[in-house]
Amino acid sequence: MTEKKRITFPENFWWGSAWSAEQAEGRGETGKAETVWERWYKEQPYRFYNRIDSSITTDHIHRYKEDVQLMKETGHNSFRVSISWARMFPDDGVGTVNPKAIAFYKDLFTEMNQNGIKVFANLYHFDMPAKLQDKGGWESRDVVDAYVHFADTCFKEFGDLVYHWFTFNEPLGPILGSYLEDFHYPNIIDFKRGAQAAFFTILAHAKAIQAFKKYSFESKIGVILNLSPTFPRSQNPADVQAAKIADLFYTRSFLDPMVKGEFPSALVDLLAQNQQLPADYTESDLTIISENTAQILGLNYYEPRRVKARSSAVNPESPFLPEWFFEPHIMPGRRMNEYRGWEIYEKGIHDLCMDIKNNYGNIESFISENGMGVANEERFMDESGQVIDDYRIDFIKDHLAYLWLAIEDGCNIKGYHLWTFIDCWSWINSYKNRYGLVSLDLPTQKRTIKKSGEFYKQLSDDNGFDYDVDLLVR
């Protein structure tokens, strides 16, 4: 029997959570262009769980003052929002800026600052204005220019209210969803077009950073990436090679150009061999990318990636996909969050941070998302209506313990943001899985702090918690 010991985090550690405009704000009355999510729902409502769209979601646009108080009550000293491009530029993402959108975000950010909550502002979280998607979305240089104009407008309007900026949340997500795996509009299966969209996303990131540098803000600008450490099934060379290739596609593809300013040559060679390199790129694009890299890095960590060598031949007539080179590996004995279908592997957070320390110059980083979505949480309500989510508290503690170990091992980690604050809309899963520290009763929009929300407040006040550190393995 081992003993618990107090784990303490560095001073001024960022405790908070994150969400995004499309998932939490609701449409409101400010005026807003149609987004790809609204468009997709109109075309295929049956793709969304229980047919719930993003028109109301968590109605933050009307309730932000109450919500800022809830942030305080749940121990937040920082919080990540995204700024809606469609709201800022209601004429389809271009044209004249919307004074009502500016007023809303100024009010929200001021309210947060006055309550001691640092504003982490993200500029793009999957929410392309639909008309810009019609023009090619991230496959179009014009859309890159429109995005940079939107970003620059945000720097100008909100620069003195924002603590840190982020160009994108999970830029890989829309590439996978829109071009490879059919879970984002416009549901194209075409790797080469996806590679073009990925390239222009990376260019947009670099150009936004270039624009940011014109100002002399104290804040930094970076990017938030979804990263999973990749593990081969075994040390068999075929499994190791499979893991290397999966890692190139899913981890290094965005991490290297956005943080180091260069594309991994092994990935470029592989795409060239398979005629999948983007058609439109120039030397000057590559220079902009190499000169404008992230100053801070957000790590979204949910699950590890486990792969093995393929056991069957690829059908050469099928569309080119990363899975031509590996298969997912289901590790015997793995622990699952069955509601979301994601493996729970807290040690992965340590492995991920060590990779950033060892291979990315130990860039200033933080966990920008980590969390556990659970279906039918009403099951766990007590008579007062509070969700007693001990499973979430355990999930958070187990991950934080490994994060603490990473800090002990020299990783430059500045904070931890949970996904999410109040239950919010999860894209095609709508409100199926709940992630919040605060529960949401959808019909009434009533918010109630969960047991995990109380735990989070204590955690943030104490800047640590008791844990059996002898359980941790490196």
**Which residues are identified as catalytic?**
369
Residue of the chain from 14, 89, 427, 456 that contacts ligand BGP (CB under 6 A): 427
Tokens of 459: 């955690």
Residue 170 beta carbon to ligand BGP: minimum distance, rounded to whole angstroms = 5
Question: What value, to the nearest 5°, has the Cα angle with vertex 26 and ends 21 and 29?
Answer: 115
d(C-alpha 113, C-alpha 2), whole Å? 42
Kindly indicate which of the ranges 83-91, 134-142, 354-362, 422-430 contains the residues binding ligand BGP, using the contact rule CB under 6 A. Answer: 422-430
Burial degree of 353 (CB within 10 A; 0-12, 13-18, 19+):
buried
Q: Are strands 297-300 and 220-226 parallel, antiparallel or unpaired?
A: parallel
Nearer to ligand BGP, 30 or 430 (CB): 430
Contact with ligand BGP (CB under 6 A) among 433, 439, 452, 460: 433
Of 285 and 423, the one with the shorter C-beta distance to ligand BGP is: 423
Of 184 and 357, nearer to ligand BGP (C-beta) is 184
Nearer to ligand BGP, 133 or 169 (CB): 169
Tell me how far apart the alpha carbons of residues 411 and 62 are, in angstroms, rounded to a whole number.
39
Task: Give the x/- contact pattern for ligand BGP in 184-223, rule: CB under 6 A.
Answer: ----------------------------------------
- DSSP assigned state of 412: -
Q: Is 170 in the site for ligand BGP (CB under 6 A)?
A: yes
- Asked if residue 172 lies in contact with residue 253, where contact means CB atoms within 8 angstroms, the answer is yes
- The torsion defined by the Cα of 118, 449, 302 and 377, in degrees rounded to 10, comes to -160
Site for ligand BGP in 367-386 (CB under 6 A): 369, 373
Q: How far is the CB of 132 from ligand BGP (least distance, A)?
A: 20
Contacts of 359 (CB under 8 A, 6+ apart): none
Q: Closer to ligand BGP at the Cβ: 36 or 211?
A: 36
Check binding of 226 to ligand BGP (CB under 6 A).
yes
Helix, coil or strand: residue 229: coil
Half-sphere exposure of 424 (CA within 13 A, CB side): 24
Q: Which residues contact 79 (CB under 8 A, 6 or more apart)?
A: 16, 17, 18, 71, 112, 117, 118, 119, 120, 417, 421
Interaction between residue 429 and ligand BGP (CB under 6 A)? yes
User: In terms of CB distance, is 261 or 436 closer to ligand BGP?
Assistant: 436
367, 415 contact by CB (below 8 A): yes
Amino acid at 21: A
- Minimum CB separation of residue 122 from ligand BGP in Å reads 10
Residues of span 313-342 touching ligand BGP by CB under 6 A: 340
Contacts of 131 (CB under 8 A, 6+ apart): 33, 34, 92, 93
Rounded to a whole number of angstroms, the minimum distance from the CB of residue 333 to ligand BGP is 24
- Pick the binder of ligand BGP from 419, 421, 455, 465 (CB under 6 A): 419
The count of chain residues that interact with ligand BGP, using the rule CB under 6 A, is 15
Stretch that binds ligand BGP, among 136-144, 377-385, 426-434, 436-444 (CB under 6 A): 426-434
Distance of CA 102 to the CA centre of its chain: 24
Whose CA is closest to 451, among 362, 391, 398? 391
Contacts with ligand BGP, 124-163, as mask; x by CB under 6 A: ----------------------------------------
Q: What SS3 class is residue 50?
A: helix
Beta bridge partners of residue 302, listed in sequence order: none
Helix or strand (DSSP H, E) at 336: strand 336-337
Select the span of 66-74, 168-176, 235-243, 436-444 touching ligand BGP (CB under 6 A): 168-176
Q: Distance between CA atoms of 248 and 254, rounded to whole angstroms?
A: 9
Region binding ligand BGP by CB under 6 A among candidate stretches 165-173, 309-317, 356-364, 409-417? 165-173
Site string for ligand BGP, 9-48 (x = CB under 6 A): -----------x--x-------------------------
Choose between 196 and 433: whose C-beta lies nearer to ligand BGP.
433
**Interaction site with ligand BGP (CB under 6 A):** 20, 23, 169-170, 173, 226, 300, 340, 369, 373, 419, 426-427, 429, 433
